[in-house]
């Protein structure tokens, strides 16, 4: 009889389910490792879960050795486990602090790695070389876009080959921003993008009468405190300039002055301590937590070993698995800060009559994911095994090396915007359904969870982690490939999204508070 392991993967000895590596037909029988036989009761797709043990109605069911939901009705060996018979219920999770802090092995002398980057004032290092036009308010968005349009990519490549482009960072807020954290958050976002190491210089444009004033961003973000060698920015308000047309002319002239300065920048050897990696996933499937995410965790740990920084995010998508992160916190204060963000989200969603477990998405479910707990456990694998050294608010400057967490929503553009504005100069994005996300000004690799997806969307996927399911590579081998691809990307190798010009519309600040 064919072993069950030929068609599926059991991730932990305590798991009640296995995850299928390929589609299978009802009626087929397989030999389990415990000596029993499992007969499929229905046709199943790759990435979906097959019960190998009996789970009674109301009892917890485990994958990754952790609870991913509770049985709705009795579940028998051979049953398909999915939304029809697995539900979410609140359950107690012990938030221990610092009980699973693992020291990563040091990098041997002489084996240190580096990359080629742009040295910036203040010790920052860029992986790309852009000029930015930043809108302080939605009222200046069209103006900013028209400024950007003055500098066509073909013209820039001809006249300033060392510059990657002129970008317009626009958004849908900035007028009636609520005081307190909503106002401070938008200021962090805009100051962060202005000061980003991948931005060689910038122009900031406001309207003039809005609540979120350019002058406030300048003051609170300390944008007037120029470091030696830093290009002086230009700050404009449409009303003070005398209208849109005059503002466009003034801003375009300011960009034109910045371009030859940026064009002088050259890549030089840099240590990996200057890399800040954003970890994200979207369009996940049942294979995400088996292939791409744990492989990215290997790459994340390798970067941390070399003195770099790796930052996990998407608070609603670690929900139900956060207790595994608190155990890795190097101090109780860091762990409690993470729990406080979880508690905030629980209260926040109640304000809108929603619940934090209103996830996975329809595409996630079609790919085999059933509950937020299951999705979170797989998403957490992106963070490897390194100690948790910091927890940041949304778009808060990332200042310490090591593995960290940033509080962001799960919506990909909003999450990545926070990470980038915090200082991430590279990113890796795993996907099982085929996200086509791009992330200017920071380049972002996309990693496919299956070979089928990689082959189908080869123009969009940078790396294939499906070889793990195929049995041709290990998680460690794919993780090392991702690590090498990160270094190549940081040194200037273009990603698939960059090659297709994707990433200009993905700047999406998290907007808190009512609009009135």
Count how many domains the chain has. 3
Residues 297 and 393 in one domain: yes
Using one digit for the tens of pLDDT, what is the confidence trace for 440-482? Answer: 999 999 999 999 999 999 999 999 999 999 999 999 999 999 9
Domain holding 191: CATH number? 3.40.50
Nearest to 197 by CA among 383, 416, 423: 423
Residues 343 and 453 in one domain: yes
Q: Are 372 and 320 within 8 A, CB to CB?
A: yes
Per the listing, tokens 């508070």 go with 513
* Inside any domain, residue 119: no
Nearest to 315 by CA among 289, 345, 335: 345
What's the confidence (pLDDT) of residue 227? Answer: 86
The angle, 0 to 180 degrees and rounded to 10, between the axes of the packed helices 181-194 and 412-422 is 70
**How many C-beta atoms lie closer than 10 Å to residue 222's C-beta?**
11
Last residue of some domain: 55, 87, 119? 87
What's the confidence (pLDDT) of residue 241? Answer: 98
pLDDT category at 362 given cuts 50, 70, 90 is confident
- Kindly report the average pLDDT of the chain as a whole number: 94
Using one digit for the tens of pLDDT, what is the confidence trace for 53-106? Answer: 999 999 999 999 999 999 999 999 999 999 999 999 888 788 999 999 999 999
As a whole number, mean pLDDT of residues 25-38 equals 87
Minimum mean pLDDT range among 82-91, 331-340, 435-444, 484-493? 82-91
Residues 155 and 212 in one domain: yes
Q: How far, in Å, CA of 143 to CA of 122, rounded? A: 31
Residues 21 and 69 in one domain: yes
pLDDT above 80 (res 34): no
Q: How far, in Å, CA of 362 to CA of 369, rounded? A: 9
As a whole number, mean pLDDT of residues 184-212 equals 96
E strand spans, 148-189: 165-169
* Inside any domain, residue 153: yes
pLDDT above 70 (res 269): yes
Residues 301 and 429 in one domain: yes
Q: How far, in Å, CA of 73 to CA of 356, rounded? A: 24
pLDDT category at 358 given cuts 50, 70, 90 is low
Using one digit for the tens of pLDDT, what is the confidence trace for 382-413? Answer: 999 999 999 999 999 999 999 999 999 999 99
Instruction: Spell out a b/e string for 226-238, using b for 16 or more CB atoms within 10 Å of the CB, else e.
Output: eeeeebebbbbbb
The angle, 0 to 180 degrees and rounded to 10, between the axes of the packed helices 372-380 and 292-305 is 40
pLDDT category at 514 given cuts 50, 70, 90 is confident
What's the confidence (pLDDT) of residue 359? Answer: 67
pLDDT category at 237 given cuts 50, 70, 90 is very high
pLDDT category at 35 given cuts 50, 70, 90 is confident
pLDDT category at 195 given cuts 50, 70, 90 is very high
Strand 199-206: give its sheet, edge to edge.
165-169, 130-135, 199-206, 234-237
Using one digit for the tens of pLDDT, what is the confidence trace for 312-323? Answer: 999 999 999 999
Nearest to 389 by CA among 337, 442, 426, 344: 337
Residues 247 and 286 in one domain: no
Q: Are 227 and 122 within 8 A, CB to CB?
A: yes
What's the confidence (pLDDT) of residue 208? Answer: 95
Handedness of CA 372, 373, 378, 382 (dihedral sign): positive
Residues 238 and 279 in one domain: no
Q: Are 475 and 469 within 8 A, CB to CB?
A: no
Residues 254 and 297 in one domain: no
Percent of the chain with pLDDT over 90: 87
pLDDT above 80 (res 355): no
Q: How far, in Å, CA of 47 to CA of 513, rounded? A: 38
What's the confidence (pLDDT) of residue 515? Answer: 75
* Inside any domain, residue 120: no
The angle, 0 to 180 degrees and rounded to 10, between the axes of the packed helices 244-263 and 141-149 is 50
Last residue of some domain: 56, 87, 118? 87
Residues 140 and 232 in one domain: yes
Structural domain that includes position 144: 130-264
pLDDT above 90 (res 298): yes
Percent of the chain with pLDDT over 70: 99
Using one digit for the tens of pLDDT, what is the confidence trace for 138-163? Answer: 999 999 999 999 999 999 999 999 99
Q: How far, in Å, CA of 420 to CA of 403, rounded? A: 16
Residues 228 and 335 in one domain: no
Distance, first Cα to last Cα, the chain: 66
**Tokens standing for residue 235:** 């700050």
* Inside any domain, residue 122: no
**Tokens standing for residue 34:** 């415990």
* Inside any domain, residue 448: yes
* Inside any domain, residue 140: yes
Q: Are 132 and 203 within 8 A, CB to CB?
A: yes
Q: How far, in Å, CA of 384 to CA of 266, rounded? A: 33
* Inside any domain, residue 104: no
Q: How far, in Å, CA of 135 to CA of 345, rounded? A: 29
Residues 296 and 412 in one domain: yes
What's the confidence (pLDDT) of residue 177? Answer: 84
Residues 250 and 221 in one domain: yes
Domain holding 22: CATH number? 2.30.130.110
Q: How far, in Å, CA of 283 to CA of 219, rounded? A: 39
pLDDT above 90 (res 16): yes
pLDDT above 80 (res 244): yes
Q: How far, in Å, CA of 426 to CA of 308, rounded? A: 11
**Tokens standing for residue 458:** 């080869």
4: left (phi over 0), alpha (psi -120 to 50) or beta: alpha
* Inside any domain, residue 489: yes
Nearest to 259 by CA among 120, 162, 118: 162
Last residue of some domain: 245, 264, 283? 264
């Amino acid at each position: 009889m064919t072993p069950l392991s030929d068609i599926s993967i059991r991730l932990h000895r305590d798991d009640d389910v296995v995850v299928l590596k390929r589609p299978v037909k009802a009626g087929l029988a397989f030999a389990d490792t415990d000596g029993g036989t499992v007969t499929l009761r229905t046709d199943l797709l790759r990435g979906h879960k097959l019960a190998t043990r009996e789970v009674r109605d109301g009892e917890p069911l485990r994958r990754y050795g952790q609870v991913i939901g509770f049985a709705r009705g009795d579940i028998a060996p051979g049953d398909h486990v999915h939304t029809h018979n697995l539900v979410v219920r609140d359950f107690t999770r012990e938030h221990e602090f610092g009980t699973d802090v693992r020291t990563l092995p040091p990098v041997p002398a002489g084996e240190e790695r580096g990359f080629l980057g742009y040295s910036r004032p203040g010790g920052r290092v860029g992986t790309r070389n852009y000029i930015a036009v930043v809108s302080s308010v939605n009222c200046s968005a069209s103006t900013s876009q028209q400024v950007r349009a003055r500098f066509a990519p073909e013209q820039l490549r001809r006249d300033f080959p060392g510059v990657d482009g002129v970008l317009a960072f626009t958004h849908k807020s900035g007028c009636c921003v609520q005081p307190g954290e909503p106002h401070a958050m938008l200021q962090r976002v805009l100051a962060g993008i202005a000061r980003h190491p991948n931005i060689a210089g910038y122009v900031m444009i406001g309207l003039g009468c809005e609540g979120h004033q350019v002058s406030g961003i300048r003051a609170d973000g300390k944008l007037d405190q120029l470091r030696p060698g830093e290009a002086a920015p230009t700050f404009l308000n449409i009303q003070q300039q005398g209208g849109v047309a005059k503002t466009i002319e003034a801003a375009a002239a300011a960009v034109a002055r910045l371009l030859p300065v940026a064009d002088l920048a050259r890549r030089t050897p840099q240590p990996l301590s200057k890399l800040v990696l954003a970890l994200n996933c979207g369009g996940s499937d049942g294979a995400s937590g088996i292939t791409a995410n744990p492989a990215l965790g290997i790459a994340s740990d390798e970067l941390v070993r070399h003195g770099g920084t790796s930052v996990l995010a998407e608070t609603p998508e670690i929900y139900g698995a956060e207790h595994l992160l608190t155990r890795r916190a190097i101090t109780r204060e860091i762990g409690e800060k993470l729990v406080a963000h979880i508690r905030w989200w629980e209260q926040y969603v109640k304000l809108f009559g929603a619940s934090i477990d209103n996830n996975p998405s329809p595409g996630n479910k079609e790919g085999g994911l059933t509950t937020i707990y299951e999705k979170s456990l797989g998403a957490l694998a992106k963070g490897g095994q390194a100690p948790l050294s910091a927890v940041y608010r949304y778009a808060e400057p990332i200042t310490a090396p090591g593995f960290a967490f940033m509080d962001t929503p799960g919506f990909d553009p909003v999450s990545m915007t926070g990470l980038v504005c915090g200082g991430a100069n590279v990113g890796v994005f795993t996907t099982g359904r085929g996200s086509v996300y791009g992330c200017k000004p920071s380049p972002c690799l996309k990693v496919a969870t299956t070979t089928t997806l990689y082959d189908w969307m080869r123009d969009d996927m940078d790396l294939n982690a499906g070889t793990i399911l195929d049995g041709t590579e290990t998680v460690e081998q794919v993780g090392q490939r991702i690590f090498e691809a990160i270094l190549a990307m940081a040194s200037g190798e273009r990603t698939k999204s960059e090659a297709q010009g994707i990433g200009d519309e993905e700047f999406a600040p998290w907007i808190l508070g009512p609009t009135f």
